[in-house]
Structures are given as structure tokens and as C-alpha cells.
Amino acid sequence: MKFKVKDMDIATGGIQVCVLNWQDAQALDLHLMDRIKISKGKKSTIAVLDIAESNKPLSLGQVGLMEEVLKRLNIRQGDQVSLSLAEKPKSISLIKKKLNGKKLDPDELRIIVDDIVDNKLTQIEITYFVAGSYTHGLSIDETVALTKAMINTGQKLELKEHPIVDKHCIGGVPGNRTTLLVVPILVAAGYTVPKTSSRSITSPAGTADTMEVIADVILPISKIKKVVTKTGGCMVWGGAVNLAPADDKIINVEHPLSIDAEGQLLASILAKKGSVSATHVLIDIPVGRGAKVKTLKKAVHLEKAFRKVAKKLGMKIKVVITDGSQPIGNGIGPALEARDVLWVLRNDPHAPQDLKNKALLMAGHIMNSWPLNKEHKKRGFYKAKEILESGQAYEKFLEIVSAQGKKQTDPENIKLGKLTYDVKAKTRGKVRYIDNLSIARIAKAAGAPSDKGAGIYLYKHVSDKVKKGETLFTIYAENKQRMKYAKELLNIYGAYVVS
């Protein structure tokens, strides 16, 4: 069938799409998401069919093409192309197999991940893959195969050092910016730590958002390799490099329903670690009412699954279950968290002790588990403390920051939101509970993480005594509208329970 090209002036940024008027589609017996072979002379490509339900965009005999298709075939508006029905990719029958409750072997998972990365599958088809993996679960072997497939379809940071250490926190706890302390401590102790972090997905700040206040975090993979080779570590944004790209596309379709498929969570985390050649990984699972993992039972279950998968991947793993019942550190939001981190590194009296202690605990666990020398063995915590308090960690931190591109390392010069609002205790008593989710919501309403200086600074933690009228926390915002919005949420959700 011959059709006239209409340039839709849209790029999908991924999958190749063509659009037909619904009457043409019906006449040709073509259906939504059919694969269509589009040919012009000797060139051809395969696109997924979208159908225009209204007559506005396309008249009969026209095929609308997205930028990706126009480029591939080197054609433009008004050109004539031939359309014919193409076979669906093999991955579709494999996705159906999973949806039917059958197990997939490594080759089959590899085919699916390949097609996801190559933009051959629509979001609906990926959704069925997620739904099948979620309702039937992924076995340990499937999770291992998925992880390997994810690693192999992305960029890799190839490093020859041994051991290469990495850490990951399951999240859900505001503040909790231990990574930016653990990395310099470990690197100062002699470990190689090529740390890539994410930006915020649902929190007021991700590690990459916070680090970005202090240094550049968007580095090409060649530059990351140079930084790690030179300094022993890095703290960069993983999203800037194409590590395990299937993961993002899977997360995209999980988001609308907040699907939390365990197998995909494990694969997602371990694939990012595998992509940077990590050989030894510490996983922090905070547990508590407001954390992502709410019960100890679930945490222990996750720990076991992590161990099984890591073992089959040939990765050493140590899982630590920590207290996730309240925020850790005082600052919440990129700038406020960055200031906390610098205060701890500089042994400043403002340094939040809970954040410092948790970081030492994490670093200590790694040294105990995988000691580089006698000093680390069984007394990792004390060795980590020594490295931090002697200033060695700060020195290493500055070295990494300077290699990545320094922005600001003086905590007193970090720009916070101009507008502040103090939230005061309405009664005297003790802080009984701080709600992680409310704190996160208020900080986000105030502008975090897009407004770097926005967020919350806590003056009181759980079990602290408070007087009536004493400030519990301060909200920071960069503009009035955001502050108004934060106050509205404060009124709806509260945040502290004092009694």
C-alpha cells in the first residue's frame, strides 16, 4: 500500500511510531500497536502503529511519521512510502509466556531486555512484562538472568581494581545522606568506590541532587573512569551515563501504579552495581513506619533474596537492616543535606551525630566484612571514625570533588532558601514520632529537589524533650508560592507528634 508522508513534528525519543487515520487502519485490517514495515526504495524500517481516532491530524492515504522514522529513512513531508504488516518481535510471545505464569530462561529474558533497550516494545507491552513479573514473581534464576541482561545491554565502567566496593540504600528515609560520607571514608581507607547515585524519584533529594550542590555530577563515562583512577572513587549521577538502560524504561511503566515488583527491584539495584564492576556491595535496608520497607519480616525476606541473587552473580554482599523510623541528619533537601555532610566531614559542632554515626556504621561494616588489612578487621567502626575525625576523609572528599568539578565546599556559603518558616511546639513534652512521609511531602512542596535551597531543617528528633513554643523544624523555600503550598501541606499532614 502506498501512503503519503506527513511529518508529525514529534520525536518519541525512543520507539519508532507511525500513525494512520482510523478509517485507513480499519480498511487495511491494521490494529493499534501492529508492527508496520515502512519502505522507501531500498530502505525500510519497522514502526509501531498508532491510530488517530479523530480526523484532524491525518487525512485518508496519509501516514504520520515521527522524527525517528523520517531520519532513519531519510524522507520528508509529501514523500511516498509503502506500508506492510510486519511480524511482531519474538519478545511479545515471551512476555505472554511470563503473564501465563511460566518461567523464562536466561536467553528469553535477554531477548526481552534487548527489545526494551532497542525501543522495539511499546509501553503497553512492557507493562504486561512488569505485570507478569509482579503477579507471578521472578524466581532467583530469573532475577539473576534479568540482572545480567540489564548489565549487558548498557554502558559499563570497566575497572580492574579489586575489590571494588559499592553501597545502596533502599530508601524512604528523609535526609540519610550517608553515601557522601561513606565513600570518602572508604576511599581514604584504600578501597575503590565508583559510586553512581540517582536523583530524587519520590523524595525531597537524591544523593546526586545533594552532591550537585557541592560538585559537578554529570560526567561522561570516560571522565568518571579518570576520576576513579586518579582518586579511588567518585560520587556522580548514574542517570547521566547509560547504565542498565532497560531499568529506566521498566520503572517508567511501574510508576503509574507504584508497582514494587521484588524481582525487578533486585535486578534494578544489582544491575547498576554490576555496571560499575562492583565486586563487594553493602545494602542498607531502613525499616520503619515511614520507610519504604515497613516491617522487619519484609526486610529479612529481602535480605535473603539479595544474598541468593548476589551469590549467583558472583558478587559479595552484606545487607544491613537499619532504623528507618525517622529522618536521619537535620537537613532535608539538597542544600540543607549538603551542609550537614560538610559539617560532618569538617568535624563542625553543627554536625548531626545520627548521620555521622550511621555513616561510620556503614563504613565499618564494609571494613569488617572485607578488610584490606589487619586494622580494618573486626574494628572497622573505630577505623572509620579515626579516618573521619582525623580529617583524612574530608581531604579525600575534596580531592574527588575537585576531580569532578568543584562548586561549593564551604558549608556556610551554601545558599539556602531565602524564605523561612519556623514550626513550633504547641505543647511541652517529648517528641514521640516524626512522620517521614509528611516531612518529605512538605519539603517537596517547599520546592525540593528542583529548588536546591528548599527543604526542612530539623531541630528535634524522636525522644527529644521540647518546651512549648520551641522550634521543632524550619521550612526553607525560594519563593512565596512554594512556601504557601508547604504550609498548606503542613496543616493537612502535621509531621511531629509531641506529648
Closest CA to 385 of 364, 355, 409: 364
Q: Is 422 a catalytic residue?
A: no
Q: How many residues bind a copy of itself (CB under 8 A)?
A: 51
Verify binding: residue 132, a copy of itself, rule CB under 8 A: yes
Note whether 419 and 479 are within 8 A (CB): yes
When the beta carbons of 29 and 412 are compared against a copy of itself, the nearer one is: 29
Position among 154, 172, 449, 453 found at the interface with a copy of itself (CB under 8 A): 449
Binding track, positions 42-81, relative to a copy of itself; x by CB under 8 A:
----------xxx-xx---------x--------------
Q: For residues 26 and 59, which CB has a smaller minimum distance to a copy of itself in the complex?
A: 26
Beta carbon of residue 5, minimum distance to a copy of itself (angstroms, whole number): 16
Q: Which of 123/347 has CB closer to a copy of itself?
A: 123
Q: Which residues, including other chains, have CB under 8 Å from residue 29's CB and lie 6 or more apart?
A: none
Q: Which of 37, 90, 96, 350 binds a copy of itself (CB under 8 A)?
A: 96
Q: Restricting to residues 135-194, name those near a copy of itself by CB under 8 A.
A: 135-136
Among 60, 124, 296, 492, binds a copy of itself (CB under 8 A): 124
86/398 with CB nearer a copy of itself: 86
**Smallest gap, in angstroms, from Cβ of residue 300 to a copy of itself?**
21
Q: Is residue 491 part of the contact set for a copy of itself (CB under 8 A)?
A: no
3-state SS track over the chain: CEEEEEECCCCCCCCCEEEEEHHHHHHCCCCCCCEEEEEECCEEEEEEEEEECCCCCCCCCEEEECHHHHHHHCCCCCCEEEEEEECCCCHHHHHHHHHCCCCCCHHHHHHHHHHHHCCCCCHHHHHHHHHHHHHHCCCHHHHHHHHHHHHHCCCCCCCCCCCEEEEEECCCCCECCCHHHHHHHHHHHCCEEEEEECCCCCCCCCHHHHHHHHECCCCCHHHHHHHHHHHCEEEEEHHHCCCCHHHHHHHHHHHHHCCCCHHHHHHHHHHHHHHCCCCEEEEEEEECCCCCECCHHHHHHHHHHHHHHHHHHCCEEEEEEEECCCCECCEECHHHHHHHHHHHHCCCCCCCHHHHHHHHHHHHHHHHHCCCCCCCCCCHHHHHHHHHHCCHHHHHHHHHHHHHCECCCCHHHCCCCCEEEEEECCCCEEEEEECHHHHHHHHHHCCCCCCCCCEEEECCCCCCEECCCCEEEEEEECCHHHHHHHHHHHHHHCCEEEC
Closer by beta carbon to a copy of itself, 398 or else 437: 437
Asked if residue 258 binds a copy of itself (CB under 8 A), the reply is: yes
- Binding window for a copy of itself (CB under 8 A); candidates: 23-31, 143-151, 323-331, 379-387: 23-31
In sequence order, which residues have a C-beta less than 8 Å from that of residue 474 and are 6 or more positions away?
420, 421, 422, 423, 456, 457, 459
> Measured from the CB atom, is 232 or 447 closer to a copy of itself?
447
Contact stretch for a copy of itself (CB under 8 A) within 167-175, 198-206, 273-281, 300-308: 198-206
Nearest distance from residue 22's CB to a copy of itself, in Å? Answer: 8
Identify residues 329-388 at the interface with a copy of itself (CB under 8 A).
Answer: none
What does the block give as the cell for 19?
Answer: 500513525
Nearest residue (CB) to a copy of itself, 112 versus 388: 112
For residue 252, the minimal CB distance to a copy of itself (Å) is 5
Stretch that binds a copy of itself, among 196-204, 290-298, 313-321, 370-378 (CB under 8 A): 196-204
User: Pick from 44, 72, 79, 123: which binds a copy of itself (CB under 8 A)?
Assistant: 123
Q: How far is the CB of 260 from a copy of itself (least distance, A)?
A: 10
- Residue 493 and residue 491: Cα distance in Å, rounded? 6
CA angle 231, 233, 236 (to 5 degrees): 120
Our finding on whether 238 is near a copy of itself (CB under 8 A) is no
Smallest gap from residue 207 Cβ to a copy of itself (A): 16
263 is an interface residue for a copy of itself by CB under 8 A: no
**Closest approach of a copy of itself to the CB of residue 242, in Å:** 13
Q: Choosing from 9, 105, 107, 260, which is the catalytic residue?
A: 260
Measured CA to CA, the distance from residue 302 to residue 309 in angstroms comes to: 11
CB of 322 to a copy of itself, least distance (A): 26
Q: For a copy of itself, which stretch binds (CB under 8 A), given 132-140, 223-231, 362-370, 487-495?
A: 132-140
Give the catalytic positions in this structure.
260
Chain positions contacting a copy of itself, by CB under 8 A: 8-14, 22, 26-29, 31-33, 52-54, 56-57, 67, 88, 92, 95-96, 99, 101, 122-125, 127-128, 131-132, 134-136, 199-201, 252-253, 255-259, 444, 449-450
